[in-house]
Amino acid sequence: MIVYFGFDLINSVEDALELRKEEFRGSLNEKWKQIHNFEEYRNCIDDLIYSAPVQKMKRFKHHCHVTCFEHSLNVSFYSFLLCRALGLDYKAAARGGLLHDLFLYDWRTTTLSHGKHGFVHPRLALNNASTVSSLNEVERDIILKHMFPLTWQPPSYKESLIVCLVDKYCACAEIIGSIFRTTYPSRDGPTPSGIGIKSR
């Protein structure tokens, strides 16, 4: 009788816990949507994302299996989230992050006459980005100084520093993800792929 009662009680507790988990997941998903407002992010980059130069980044592998476009979208999105949480100019971070590697060549096979890729691609990306959109001072600084400390000029704005650090984080995650054959970023959390950006 006690065992039966205990079994019954355990089932009830497990059922109750399962129900609470479902409720929690639902409320967590709502909070997730509020915190990571994908629509707000899309509004920041909508005029850039389908431009021919930005779409051209899909042709070039950047870090292992990740294309330049995917990497730039990752940097843009996570910079947007951080700057938004910190009360900074998240629009400039999203836009500068998307355009920071707009150099439009395969850096593994292209020989540059005026220096090594790591040192010169920020200026090339800035020149290309200037043809896509008029850039504000923060966006220009983000693109030009994202390779600090490899390039000697430090970021002038907090947003530039955040994009610079997020760029390094994403590059490491993309490379490590490739080594361990995992998909980056995880589809469980907030990702650029969750905002419905598709090729046109």
Chain centroid to CA 157: 19
The rounded radius of gyration (Å) of the Cα atoms in the chain is 21
Of 116, 108, 121, give the one whose Cα is nearest residue 67: 108
**Residue type (1 letter), 62:** H
The per-residue pLDDT for 25 is 62
Question: Taking the domain 38-195, which CATH number applies?
Answer: 1.10.3210.10
- 62 φ/ψ angles, rounded to the nearest 5 degrees: -120, -70
Q: Are 197 and 55 in contact (CB under 8 A)?
A: no
The per-residue pLDDT for 179 is 67
Q: What is the pTM of this model?
A: 0.70
> Tokens in use for 156?
């002038």
- Encode the chain (200 residues) as per-residue pLDDT tens digits: 344 444 444 455 566 666 666 665 665 566 556 555 678 898 999 999 999 998 888 887 765 677 888 889 989 999 999 999 999 999 999 999 999 888 765 545 656 556 565 556 788 888 888 898 999 999 999 999 978 877 788 999 999 999 999 999 988 887 777 666 555 454 444 455 444 454 44
